[in-house]
Each structure stands twice: as structure tokens, then as C-alpha cells.
Amino acid sequence: MGTISLKNVRKSFGDANIIPNANLDIRNGEFVVFVGPSGCGKSTLLRLIAGLEDLTSGTIEIDGKNVTDAAPSQRGLAMVFQSYALYPHMSVRNNIAFGLKMAGVPPAEIEQKVAKAAATLNLTEYLDRKPRQLSGGQRQRVAIGRAIVRQPEAFLFDEPLSNLDAALRVNMRVFIMQLHKDLGTTMIYVTHDQVEAMTMADRIVVLNRGNIEQVGSPLDLYNNPDSLFVAGFIGSPKMNFVTGAEAERHKAKTIGIRPEHLEIASGRGGWAGTIALAEHLGADSFLHVDTETAGRLVVRAPGDFRGKDGDKIVLKPDMARLHKFDDNGKVIR
């Protein structure tokens, strides 16, 4: 079992209020991603759950048990750090076995569990090496091995892929998703990369300046963002925001439309503009268009779109997909 719930969690360092008031319920077996820009408090929130930071006030429960004042070792959680944080003086075998040794598991059982974890992670032939003799991806797998071998209530991942190169990152992302499927254990995953958040999460928690902005499934956040912040953070390229007269026509302070919900049309009845810049990615092209009334908009065009810089085009928004926001940046439904 691995339910985790935060009740009125507050954390401040001196005068700085890092987490003003967080409430969150994480279900057993769920893959939850904390996402937000750097400095939004997502890592702090994870460290509070881990027990590596003390709460200023509020309570944390794991499996219905109050662990607010429990030491990290008593919470039954495993954590994978951004820097991997392997023990440099221990072999891979001992790195993976360390948690079991601390728990007083008999040596024969440790041996068997380490062998099993190593086989899952393709680390069997590296068991006697030291961490410094491994590549980044291998170190990452050792860090994961160290976590899974203990069969924790939940896994905590603190930006685990940010030190890997792009190709490896995609592989590890798939690997972690598969791991979640196989183990069915609760996982909390912190990242600033919204693509990781969208692809991996059952539920995404979007954080902004220590506040939980919105919690929902990836598509829920994509389709129905509660605020300007969430609308701008989820989706790539970013949602276009238009203010001023165009927004007032829709009785809103700001209107938002995603690049994929703009249609390139000819004739009248849309936003006329000039292509300022075109990014050709192969499957898609992203056109940066300077419009006469709505400012610069990014539009997603098919990869075979033949427009050049300087061409005049008209953009028609899909009205059903238009997002309206009030003065406080909250959505108008």
C-alpha cells in the first residue's frame, strides 16, 4: 500500500515561505508528477514527503499513518536523486544492498534480491565495479536498483533524468514507465520538463511559487487549464495569449489558443498576418506569425506546408478550443 496525503503542509526557511499551504492526496499505485518552473517548490515538497526537510506546520500521512515527525528511514520510501547520490566507496553490489543491510535482512536473501534487481536493470556484469567506473546511464540504473530492491511503499524521483543526454533520457523515461507498470507501486516524480510530465503521469500536480495551481490528468490539464499559468506551462509550443481588444471581444482579460488549434485559412474572418519565422521539424512546422490585431502568434502547420518568411496568411482559431481568462488569470468557463 502506498497512499500519501498532505494536509495544510507549510514550509518556510526563515522569512521565505516556500510552501504556503499544500493539500494533496495521492492514491495507491498512482504515478504523480510534480511539475513547475525552477524554484517553484516542487523539490522541497518531495523532500518534505521524504522526511529530509522538517515541516513548519501541517501533517503528512503515509498509508493513513501520521509520519510528520518520523525520520526518513521510518517512512518506507525510496528516493532516486538527481545526482544519483551513489556511495562512491562501495561497489555496485553494495550500493544496491545497502538499504537491505540497514534493515537487517539476512545475507543470503540480500544476495538473491540484489541479483534479481541487477538482472532487471542489466547491471549483472557491473556488480563489482565502483560507481566512478560507470557511465551516467548505468549510474542512474544503480540508483533505481537501490530503490527497487527495498520494495518501498512509494518511490520518490527528484529530476532523475536531467543529467542524461537526450537519447538516454527518452529510454529511461520509457524504462521508468514500464517499471511503474510492472511494480504497480506509487511513484512521485519531480521534473521541470512538461514533456516528461505529460507522457509519464497518471496525474500532474502543477506548482507555481509553492502553490498547487492545479491537479489533474495530463489531458485534463491540457484541455481544461484552470489558470493562465497552467495553460502556459502545459503544452509545447506554448499556448498563444492575446490581450487587449481581441480579448475584450470575448469578454475576457486574456484569451488563449494553442498553436495546434489555429487553422491557416485564406480570405477573411480571422487574424491576418505575415510569417516572420518558420521552424521546420519535419513532421510539423511551427510558424511565428505577426498578426495585425493579435500580436505574434505561433501556429502549428503540417510538415509539408510550403509557406516562406514574409508570406501573408490568415489564422482562424477553433472557437471551441479558445480559453478565456479573467483579470486574476483564472479561467472563465
Interface ranges with other proteins (CB under 8 A): 50-52, 71-73, 77-79, 81-83, 85-89, 98-99, 102-103, 146, 150
Neighbour count for residue 240 (Cβ, 10 Å): 24
Compare residues 47 and 323 and give the one whose CB is closer to other proteins: 47
The kind and range of the H/E element at 107 are helix 107-120
Compare residues 76 and 218 and give the one whose CB is closer to other proteins: 76
In the complex, what is the shortest distance from the CB of residue 88 to other proteins, in angstroms, rounded to a whole number?
6
Are residues 172 and 137 in contact, defined by beta-carbon separation less than 8 angstroms?
yes
Distance between CA atoms of residues 327 and 333, nearest Å:
14
Distance between CA atoms of residues 89 and 92, nearest Å:
10
Distance between CA atoms of residues 10 and 60, nearest Å:
11
Neighbour count for residue 144 (Cβ, 10 Å): 25
In the complex, what is the shortest distance from the CB of residue 261 to other proteins, in angstroms, rounded to a whole number?
42
Pairing of strands 31-35, 186-191: parallel
Compare residues 138 and 285 and give the one whose CB is closer to other proteins: 138
Compare residues 147 and 204 and give the one whose CB is closer to other proteins: 147
Q: Which residues contact 313 (CB under 8 A, 6 or more apart)?
A: 264, 265, 266, 272, 273, 274, 275, 287, 289, 307
Compare residues 75 and 192 and give the one whose CB is closer to other proteins: 75
In the complex, what is the shortest distance from the CB of residue 162 to other proteins, in angstroms, rounded to a whole number?
14
Are residues 272 and 281 in contact, defined by beta-carbon separation less than 8 angstroms?
no
Compare residues 146 and 258 and give the one whose CB is closer to other proteins: 146
In the complex, what is the shortest distance from the CB of residue 102 to other proteins, in angstroms, rounded to a whole number?
4
In the complex, what is the shortest distance from the CB of residue 61 to other proteins, in angstroms, rounded to a whole number?
19
CA-based torsion, 30, 182, 91, 159: positive or negative: negative
In the complex, what is the shortest distance from the CB of residue 240 to other proteins, in angstroms, rounded to a whole number?
40
Are residues 47 and 19 in contact, defined by beta-carbon separation less than 8 angstroms?
no
In the complex, what is the shortest distance from the CB of residue 143 to other proteins, in angstroms, rounded to a whole number?
8
Compare residues 89 and 249 and give the one whose CB is closer to other proteins: 89
